Every structure is written in C-alpha cells, then in structure tokens.
Amino acid sequence: MTISAFALPPYAPPLGTAAVRAEIRAFLAANPPPADPVRRANCWAVADDDYSRALGAAGFLGMLWPKRYGGHERAPMERYVVLEELLAAGAPVGAHWIADRQTGPLLLRYGTEVQRQKYLPGMAAGTIFACIGLSEPGAGSDLASLRSRAEKVDGGWCINGQKLWTSGAHRAHAMLALLRSEPGSERGAGLSQFLIDMNTPGVTVRPVVNLTGDHDFNEVFFDDVMVSDDAMVGARGNGWAQVTAELALERSGPERYLSSHALLALLIDAVGDDHRFRGPIGRLTAEMWTLRQMSMATAAKLAGGEDPSVEAAIVKDLGNDFEQRLPQLIQAALDSDLDGSGDLVRLLAHLLQVSPSFSLRGGTREILRGIIARGLGLR
Amino acid sequence: MSEMRPQLLETTTMLFAGMPDWDALVTAGFPLLLVPSAGGGFGGDWGDAFAVLRLAGAQPLAQPLGEAMVAALLLASAGVAPPAGRATIAAHAVGSIDGGRFTGSLGAVPWGQGAAAVVAMIDGGLVLLPGSDAVTPGGSPAGEARDTLAYDAAPVVPLGGGDIMQLGGFLRVALASGALDAALGLAISHCNGRIQFGKPLSKLQAVQQALAVLASEAAAVAMAGAAAARALDFGDAGFEIAAAKLRTNIAIERGVAIAHQVHGAIGFTQDYPLHPLTRRLMGWRSEFGGDAFWADRLGRMAVANGGAGLWAEMTARGDR
C-alpha cells in the first residue's frame, strides 16, 4: 500500500525558539505596528522605510547571512519565528521583504564577492531594498516566454525591454532581472540574471495603480541601459535554473497564510464568545493551525538541506486559499453593510478587494497545482 | 518518535496486508501498543499509534483496533485490570449512575456487540462498563458495527478524568489520514491507466488540478494528525485534536468528492476498492464529534484570550 505522497515529520521546535520569540516580541512592543488595522493586513506589501531600518538595526534582517556581510549567522528556524511574529502582529515589512527573503540569499549563493560587498550589508541594515524583474507584458505565468534582452557589448551589457507587475520597483535600489542574454534563444535557454541599479540611466519606473487605488506594482522600462560585466549574477545562460530554484524556496513561508490574520484577530476582539461566530472562528482556527504546522515543517525540511519544492507548493496553495476564504467566511457571518464604518468593516472590505491577488502573486494557483501534479507523477 | 517505530511499521505493514482477524491482532499485541512496558504493554507513544492507525485506515482494516488501544491505555492509566476479552469505547451515553451502577444506554458504540468492556464518559468522568447483552445493532455507512447497548443497574468502575471525544476523535483522524492517502493512490493509478480522448486521464489538466487538491488535503490531515499525536505525548492536546479533527472533516468533504469524480462510474461499483475507503471516511467525519461539535469547541478556545491571545496560544503550543 502506497502511503502518503508528501509526508512531513511533525514539527519539533529547535532549542532557542522561545528565546528568539521573546526577542522579537520585545521589539514589537517597543515598535508597535500601525494602529490602523488596514495597514496591519497583508503587511508584507506595506512599506515603511523607518520600520525596516529599525529591524535592521535590531539584527532582524539578514539573520542567516555571514557576519562579514552584515548578517547575524542565526539559525533558519529563528528567522522563521521572527517572520511569523512580524506578520501576525501586522508590522510594515514590505520595504525590505524581497531583499531579505530572496535577493540577499540569491547573491550569497550565486553573486560575486563585489556584488555581495556592495549590497548585502545595506540589505541587512534595512537601507537597501530590492525588486524582482521577472514578469513582462507577454510573459506572466508563462515566464519562459520573456523577451527583454541583454546584449553583449564592449565593456558590459546593453539592456532593452520591459518588466511588468514589479512590486516595489519605485522604492527599490536594485532590481534582480531575468533577461535573454543569448540572441535567438528560446524558452528557458539563454537567460541570465542581472543586478541593475535602479538609478542607472535608461531605467524608467511607472506606477501601475491597483484596483484599490494603491501603488505597489510597476512597469519598468529599459532603454539602452548600460551595465558592466560584473552586473551578471551567476553563470551566463543559467538564469532559468537559478530563478526556478529561487521561486521554489519562497513559497512556504508564513506570509503565504497570514495575509488576512489581522481580520481574524480583529473579529475575535469585536465579537468575543458570540455563539453565532464560534463555528466560523473554530473552522478558521483549525485551518490556520494546520497551515502553520505545514509551513514550519516545510521550513525545517528546507533548513535541513532538503528540497521540499512540492511541499512548498502545497503550503502556498492551501495557504492562499485560506487567506482568501477568511474574509469571505467572515463576511458571510457578519450582518453588516460594507459602508466603511468601523475598523472591522473597513478591514473586511479592504481584504475582500486585495485578496484576489493572494493566489496570483508568487505563482498562480493553477501553476502551483501543476507543480503538485508533477510531484504526483502525473506530468 | 519512538525508536522502535521503523520496525513496528514494517511488521504492521506485513501483518495488515494479510487482512488479519481480531485474534491475530491480539496475538501480535496490537491492542497493548499504548500501554507502558512496565504494565505489560508495548510502550509505544502516540506517534506510533498514529502511524499504525494510518496503515489500518489505508488498508482499510475492519477491526476495532484503535478503540481497543485507547481502552487498554485508559484502564492501565487508572490501574484497573483489563477485562478478559475485547474492550471498546463509546462516544454517546444517556442515563445516570446511581450507587455505582449505570442505568441507560450507550449509542453508536464501535463494535459494541460482543465487547467484553466499554469505556464511556458519563457525568463528566470516564467509567468502565461491562459488555451488554441488550444490543440494538447499528452500522456505519461502510457496514461496520455501531451498536446501541442498554444497561440496567450495571456495575461501574470509575477511571478518573479524561475525554473520550478527544481520544476517539484522534483515532478517526489517524484512520482518515491513511484512507485519504490510499484513495489518492487509487486515483493516481486509475488516472494513469485509463485512456480517454486518446491519452491517459492524468494528462488532462483539469484532472491534474483536481488530484493536486486531493493530495494537498491528504497532506494537511497527515500534518494535523502528527501534530495532535505530538501534543498527546505532552499530555495536553485539547486544542490540537480539535483542530485536527475539524481539519480532517473538511478534508473528507473535499477529498472524497474528488476521489470519486476522477474515477467516474468505475469508482461507484461494488467491485472497485474505492468505496471501502470513502464510505468509511463519510462515517468517520461524524464520529467522535462532527464539524459543528469541534468548531464550537475550538471556537470557544480561540476567542478565550482575545484576538492576540489566539496567536499566543498557537505559538506557545507549537513551541513545546
């Protein structure tokens, strides 16, 4: 009897977990998240430069990185605890999130010594922010069809093209872009990663205002942008492999199920032990408890040097489904018009509007389920 | 994890594959899995029980194994000698105890008929009752005995505190985890082998996406159950079991539907081995607390300390 396609061992906290939780809670007490609950929801998309700097100064950014790059050489699960506490509290962590989660680790893995020295200390201090240049007008879920190109010229590379849906490009100091470096190449072949300073001449950032009127993502144009040879990250032509590895590692974090947590907490404070809400709250609690176990167990597997890319896809798919249904379930139980009156109703309306993005960003639901299906041997 | 688990699972897998009868399970010592070795048992932990019952659910093994394991543990913990014969547990009791004697009935008792003893929760405490000759047979959707036992001034042995709904709920989580995995396995092999539109069903994107959801639900139950087992080993698992049983019930709703849908009419036949899994899953969803029961309990726990208190509670439990 075949049993369990994806069995994770139950999560057992390593020593020091309680200590680091006390540390980050002390920071949160001294640096309280915004009073407005709308600013506490989906808070890894809420940017506050000062808050990021404070986190950096307190040693909560670049936690796993070597000290010589400004890091703190802490354990992976310590970082996990810090992240989940920041997210559950609703701290505005959007400014540095990409640099800390993704760009920094990628530079540690593939970057040159010069690149590391130039960027990592600032990223760990919360003063250098990054964005990721992947999607393009003609390349969304079908990322391999991207067309923006880097052309080899004397003394470096000349970049032309356009990126789209680039979160935080208007705040970022650098973009890690995936570009076609080999003329005439197709699909995943012939792509390379480049680290581009956003103030390089020829880089233009234009806002794409989202449906709530907020500015988070952007379109970014490259017009004959000249970068030097040492802007390339990793091996020439190896960009696809580097990016897919990077995507797999970002999918199981606590941000994949906690985006709507502020609403659940606010609901509990508002309704207390009202029997009409007990059922929905119980149900949401059961799902959240389970997702947290799955997310932590996946993180522990990752920390142990294994590749849990299928488990990570499961966590993200279930987590996104949960954080999207949370506002729906609460709306169904709440007898109130969405008239903007009161914190609970304002937050509910906000999350109903932004939650469609939860199963789009970082890999759509359909892409994730395709990854899971591949793990099952179906494709 | 107990050191002997790998060997235990190897033995269990081989034994269960032969569809053992009750006597074979007793001979192999399975009902005493959770009883400490000092008390003559196997000395397994709750993680061992979870792993064994997952295998039982995947088979599926139509034997009252989990019920006997829990009854034996509760008796051993209370220092009460085990009965000669099979013991089971009951979720539902109606009636009262007067002068150490119970008059009333136990409802939907798993394999109640023929049990030598039943552990039930009456007036908030655990008690040991003898078997009953006044049996009204009942059955689960899968045809497993769920009998009503009547008592008239039957002697009661108090076993102290405890919660039969929690322990029974945990058993159902473990069995359902195995059954969902087995249903997924059947669905995958069916879809890989069945040709329609000139290709295996598994090459159709709609089918792939449905199976991905089934796999995710099975993974969620396995994780929630493992976390509940871990909490049981700490001796305080009220929150974890409530979460695990409710999550399992949600997964049964989603998972059974998908397993049948991808099988088409073939999975709806008596001959095909899907229904022994899915019909049990349908019954287990209601047993030892349905969705409303556990949502109400967990909802009370979730709001007990305010919005921030829920997060504090979850992390404190996880950090143990």
Q: Of A302, A348, A360, which Cα lies nearest the Cα of A165?
A: A360
What local confidence, expressed as pLDDT, does residue A2 receive? 42
Mean pLDDT of chain B: 97
What local confidence, expressed as pLDDT, does residue B225 receive? 97
Residue B226: closest C-alpha in chain A: A10
Residue A88: closest C-alpha in chain B: B311
A280:B188 CB<8 A: no
pLDDT tens digit sequence for A31-74? 999 999 999 999 999 999 999 999 999 999 999 999 999 999 99
For residue A16, what are its two tokens? 């020091």
B209 close contact with A: CB closer than 8 A: yes
Q: What is the nearest CA distance from A129 to chain B, expressed in angstroms?
A: 29
Q: What is the nearest CA distance from A96 to chain B, expressed in angstroms?
A: 24
For residue B50, what are its two tokens? 């979870």
CB B240 within 8 A of CB B231: yes
pLDDT tens digit sequence for A115-160? 999 999 999 999 999 999 999 999 999 999 999 999 999 999 999 9
What local confidence, expressed as pLDDT, does residue A4 receive? 54
Residue B170 has pLDDT above 80, yes or no: yes
Residue type, A318: L
| H helix or E strand, kind and range, residue A16 | none
B247:A287 CB<8 A: yes
Before B273, cis peptide (omega within 30)? no
Residue A309 has pLDDT above 70, yes or no: yes
B286 close contact with A: CB closer than 8 A: no
How many CB atoms within 10 Å of residue A169? Answer: 26
| Mean of pLDDT values over B115-143 | 97
Residue A272: closest C-alpha in chain B: B303
* Contacts with A41 from chain B: Cβ below 8 Å: none
| Mean of pLDDT values over B124-143 | 97
Residue B122 has pLDDT above 80, yes or no: yes
Report which DSSP code applies to B94. Answer: E
pLDDT tens digit sequence for B76-115? 999 999 999 999 999 999 999 999 999 999 999 999 999 9
Q: How far apart are CA B63 and CA B67, in angstroms?
A: 9
Non-local (6+) Cβ contacts of B218 within 8 A are A4, A5, A6, B177, B180, B181, B183, B184, B251, B255
Q: Characterize B56-65 residue by residue with b for buried, 16 or more Cβ atoms within 10 angstroms of its Cβ, and e for exposed.
A: bbbbbbbbbb
What local confidence, expressed as pLDDT, does residue A249 receive? 67
Q: How far apart are CA B242 and CA A283, in angstroms?
A: 10
Tell me which residue in A283, A318, A377 faces B220 most closely, judged by beta carbons: A318
How many CB atoms within 10 Å of residue B135? Answer: 17
Tell me which residue in A1, A85, A292 faces B318 most closely, judged by beta carbons: A292
Mean pLDDT of chain A: 95
| Catalytic residue flag (residue A78) | no
Q: What is the nearest CA distance from A87 to chain B, expressed in angstroms?
A: 11
Residue type, A298: T
B68 close contact with A: CB closer than 8 A: no
| Mean of pLDDT values over A15-21 | 92
Q: How far apart are CA A321 and CA A323, in angstroms?
A: 6
Interface test with B, best of A4, A315, A325 (most B CBs within 10 A): A4
Within chain B, where are the H helices? 5-17, 22-27, 46-58, 65-77, 164-193, 205-234, 238-263, 275-286, 291-303, 306-318
Q: What is the nearest CA distance from A163 to chain B, expressed in angstroms?
A: 29
Handedness of CA A90, A249, A227, A215 (dihedral sign): negative
CB A65 within 8 A of CB A72: yes
CA distances (Å), origin A312, targets A249, A257, A322, A369, B232: 8, 12, 15, 11, 27
| Mean of pLDDT values over B131-143 | 98
Task: Tell me how many degrees the CA angle A207-A213-A216 measures, rounded to the nearest 5.
Answer: 45
Provide the percentage of residues in chain B whose pLDDT is more than 70: 100
Q: Which residues 167-206 of B have a C-beta within 8 angstroms of A?
A: 178, 181-182, 184-185, 188, 191-192, 202-203, 205
Provide the percentage of residues in chain A whose pLDDT is more than 70: 98
Q: What is the nearest CA distance from B303 to chain A, expressed in angstroms?
A: 6
CB A133 within 8 A of CB A176: yes
Q: Of A318, A312, A310, which Cα lies nearest the Cα of A286?
A: A318
pLDDT tens digit sequence for B172-188? 999 999 999 999 999 99
Provide the percentage of residues in chain A whose pLDDT is more than 90: 91
Q: With bands split at pLDDT 50, 70 and 90, how would you rate the model's confidence at B265? A: very high
Q: How far apart are CA B91 and CA B229, in angstroms?
A: 20
pLDDT tens digit sequence for B25-44? 999 999 999 999 999 999 99
Residue A313: closest C-alpha in chain B: B216
A282:B242 CB<8 A: yes
A281:B299 CB<8 A: yes
| Mean of pLDDT values over A195-200 | 98
Q: With bands split at pLDDT 50, 70 and 90, how would you rate the model's confidence at A1? A: very low
A283:B246 CB<8 A: yes
* Contacts with A12 from chain B: Cβ below 8 Å: 230
Residue A11: closest C-alpha in chain B: B227
A5:B181 CB<8 A: yes
What local confidence, expressed as pLDDT, does residue B128 receive? 98
What local confidence, expressed as pLDDT, does residue A3 receive? 44
pLDDT tens digit sequence for A258-289? 999 999 999 999 999 999 999 999 999 999 99
Q: For chains A and B, count residue pairs whose Cβ atoms are closer than 8 Å.
A: 204
Report which DSSP code applies to B139. Answer: B
Residue A379: closest C-alpha in chain B: B203
CA distances (Å), origin B106, targets A68, A231, B84, B92, B124: 69, 75, 21, 6, 15
* pTM assigned to the model: 0.96
For residue A3, what are its two tokens? 């049993």
Interface test with A, best of B204, B300, B303, B319 (most A CBs within 10 A): B303
Greater model confidence, B166 or A251? B166
What local confidence, expressed as pLDDT, does residue A250 receive? 77
**3-state secondary structure (DSSP) of residue B84:** coil
B227:A11 CB<8 A: yes
Q: What is the nearest CA distance from B59 to chain A, expressed in angstroms?
A: 7
Instruction: Point out the catalytic residue in the list A23, A84, A246, A250.
Output: A250
Strand partners, A130: A174
Residue A5 has pLDDT above 90, yes or no: no
Concatenate the DSSP letters of all residues of B164-216 into one string: HHHHHHHHHHHHHHHHHHHHHHHHHHHHHH-EETTEEGGGSHHHHHHHHHHHH
Q: What is the nearest CA distance from A286 to chain B, expressed in angstroms?
A: 4
B298 close contact with A: CB closer than 8 A: yes
Residue type, A50: D
For residue B290, what are its two tokens? 């349905």
Q: How far apart are CA A359 and CA A365, in angstroms?
A: 5
Q: How far apart are CA B202 and CA B193, in angstroms?
A: 8
B281 close contact with A: CB closer than 8 A: no
